Structure 1
């Protein structure tokens, strides 16, 4: 994620900020240039971009009324919702707790869309593609009269529909699931990045040559999915999974291997861009193998090797800092050569598929 600057006073501002902490300017994100802008009032409900306020006019996404979005839409455009929110179908706004969950979910969703915009990946809505367009349902659990969970909503993907269990916006729920499933990492943003990997497999892995290479790397996605998951939960991962996969879940089925690698590709690229924005350099004396500086745009990396070369020292440093704070590792994963090859395939797929 890039750092942004308030064009009114020069203060550094961040992706999820709505007001400049120095001058109080209203801030809004414009998908067209993937930038957070300081704004100038331009009439009832209308805003222009600072400093001068000239040029195009904007209004906030309708979800700003609920305090869940800081993105803008062109004032003369056809959409009431922003580039991210217009994909939503079911949102949890039935009560204050649901609204707070939606705020957290929305931030993670917009972070996902930041990456989609940076790569200019195709993201048709259901209006544009009724059969397979991208749409999100943020689902509530089924509760009894005492508020106990009778049936937990499921997170998953099917034909462009990404469902997310809204309760996982609560730290205690998400952490309890992570522990019960023996996962090293679980987050809302991770869910989004994983599930949209399934969407892009269907959108991008189509021609015969691409499909053949994907099956060589990840396996045949036509393998019985339900049987593979049963085997994974009953027997656990293969004994040598760490030599071939990014996670135990990735070893369960080729479709999950692709989605897991897709999510990690997003994790790595976006975190490297953040490191570059902050000018982070690792240069530990006596440990030359851990020296790294992100001198390139990770979103334009020519191959995964370039990404991994910078990522490994940075992730080691991040994990060490987390341990110094008594916190779990930020990135508790290892990247064996087969995984790097898979990441390279995804890097090429993303760049070749930009609209």
Structure 2
């Protein structure tokens, strides 16, 4: 993600800030500008003098989970990100509330990235409504409820916001990585398969060439994966063991990792991260030259990101914590990511 700054004192801000920690001015995220706006008037009037604009905070601002802005003339209760919620938990339960806050933080970062990629419209009168929705719920003894996607509805279990439970599930599933943002990026990948591949013959044929035939029985494929595990040497063609289960899961896993790499690259660019190690091998030298969302070819993005990822992993190991990106991107997986990048660019 990019670095934000206060429009009054230029103090750096996090994406989630609703006020500047240095000067105290209120700030809010503008979907139109994909930036944090600083206000010239105190809350609740929220005016920006140079733009002669008046705004309100999203209705979820009062819960401390959203700092997104709504132009006053739109007369909406919720911002774009929060309007995608179909179900949220009972907020009178403090444990549920704390978990929901974590889910909203990850979801808002996802929506920001989808907007950067041009994959979400802003739901105005000239565009069709967004079909993407979210349910944040607990199992409550119903084993049929799981994190997943169906026809544009993404369900995320509240338990995934519990770091202890998430680590337990990571070990149970033999995963290298399990995070909330990872779940969001994976599940939204299924949604965009429907948007970008299904019913589009040229894209579908290319998908089948690269990922395989999605007509393979999905239920049987998953059962086989859970019973037998991933095939030997899966790393040569897949980004994760779960990606081997079915072409749809391969797509969703690869999609998620594509978004991981784009986000890390944008952050590295805005921080001016340059990797110039004191070794002879120049393959681990790198610098993100520009905002990756403005780069046409994914090869360039990957080649400049890989050294940054290696450096970040090395820093993590020095602190005794897991690699930030504990995966190897093989040439086959890179081709899959290039296909995704090409689809989005079109």
Tell me how far apart the structure 1 counterparts of residues 344 and 75 of structure 2 sit (CA, whole Å).
Answer: 28
Tell me how far apart the structure 1 counterparts of residues 302 and 82 of structure 2 sit (CA, whole Å).
Answer: 32
1:225-246 CA-partner distances (Å, limit 9, x unpaired):
1111111111111112111001
2:27 maps to which residue? 27
Whether the 8 Å contact between 1:139 and 1:164 is mirrored in structure 2 is yes
Match of 2:39, SS? strand
- Choose the corresponding residue for 1:251, options 218, 234, 244: 244
Tell me how far apart the structure 1 counterparts of residues 54 and 122 of structure 2 sit (CA, whole Å).
Answer: 25
Tell me how far apart the structure 1 counterparts of residues 122 and 189 of structure 2 sit (CA, whole Å).
Answer: 15
Tell me how far apart the structure 1 counterparts of residues 320 and 23 of structure 2 sit (CA, whole Å).
Answer: 36
Match of 1:163, SS? strand
1:46 maps to which residue? 45
Aligned-pair CA distance for 1:79: 2.1
Match of 2:80, SS? coil
1:107 maps to which residue? 105
- Compared CA separation, residues 124 and 158, structure 1 to 2 (3 A): farther
2:59 maps to which residue? 62
Superposition RMSD in Å? 1.9
Match of 2:134, SS? strand
1:293 maps to which residue? 287
Whether the 8 Å contact between 1:124 and 1:133 is mirrored in structure 2 is no
Match of 1:307, SS? helix
Whether the 8 Å contact between 1:29 and 1:71 is mirrored in structure 2 is yes
Match of 1:36, SS? strand
Whether the 8 Å contact between 1:60 and 1:71 is mirrored in structure 2 is yes
Aligned-pair CA distance for 1:54: 4.3
Tell me how far apart the structure 1 counterparts of residues 96 and 121 of structure 2 sit (CA, whole Å).
Answer: 26
2:313 maps to which residue? 319
2:147 maps to which residue? 155
Residue segments in structure 2 that go unaligned for 5+ positions in a row: none
1:133 maps to which residue? 131
Aligned-pair CA distance for 1:300: 2.1
How many residues are treated as equivalent by the alignment? 341
TM-score (structure 2 length as normaliser)? 0.94
Match of 1:41, SS? coil
Match of 2:10, SS? coil
Match of 2:149, SS? strand
TM-score (structure 1 length as normaliser)? 0.92
1:146 maps to which residue? none
Match of 1:200, SS? helix
Residue segments in structure 1 that go unaligned for 5+ positions in a row: 144-149
- Choose the corresponding residue for 1:337, options 331, 335, 339: 331
Tell me how far apart the structure 1 counterparts of residues 225 and 301 of structure 2 sit (CA, whole Å).
Answer: 30
Tell me how far apart the structure 2 counterparts of residues 258 and 313 of structure 1 sit (CA, whole Å).
Answer: 25
- Compared CA separation, residues 56 and 299, structure 1 to 2 (3 A): same
1:71 maps to which residue? 68
Whether the 8 Å contact between 1:304 and 1:341 is mirrored in structure 2 is no
